[in-house]
Amino acid sequence: MKNVTITLDSQTAARARVQAAERDMSLSRYVGEVLRRELRHEDEYEAAYRAWRMRKPFPLKGPQQPYPKREALYDRAAMRREDAARRKAK
C-alpha cells in the first residue's frame, strides 16, 4: 500500500465521508475503491477500442451502385400523383 495525500474541497470531502460511512468503509478505502473502479473501467474501454481498431473492414454486399440523383429522390410530380391516388382511394 502506498500513502497519498489528496486535497478535496469541503463539499466533496463531506459527500465522500457520507458515501464511505454508508458503505461502512474508511474514507481512505472508499477513495481507493472509487479510483480502482474508474481505472478498471478506463482499461476495459481502451481494450475494447483497441479490439475494434484491429478488426478488418468488411465488404458491403452486392455490386457498387451510383448514388441516386436528387431529382429521382425528390420527384415532386410523382409525389403529387401518389397523393392524388391516395385521396381518390378514400
Q: Identity (one letter) of the amino acid at 19?
A: Q
Could you tell me if residue 8 is left (phi over 0), alpha (psi between -120 and 50 degrees) or otherwise beta? Answer: beta
Query: What is residue 24's DSSP assignment?
Result: T
User: Angle at CA 19, nearest 5°, toward 13 and 22?
Assistant: 140
60 or 6, greater pLDDT: 6
Q: pLDDT digits over 24-75, tens only?
A: 999 999 999 999 999 999 999 999 999 999 998 888 888 888 888 887 788 7
* Total-model pTM: 0.53
User: Angle at CA 80, nearest 5°, toward 76 and 84?
Assistant: 170
Question: Are residues 16 and 31 in contact, defined by beta-carbon separation less than 8 angstroms?
Answer: yes
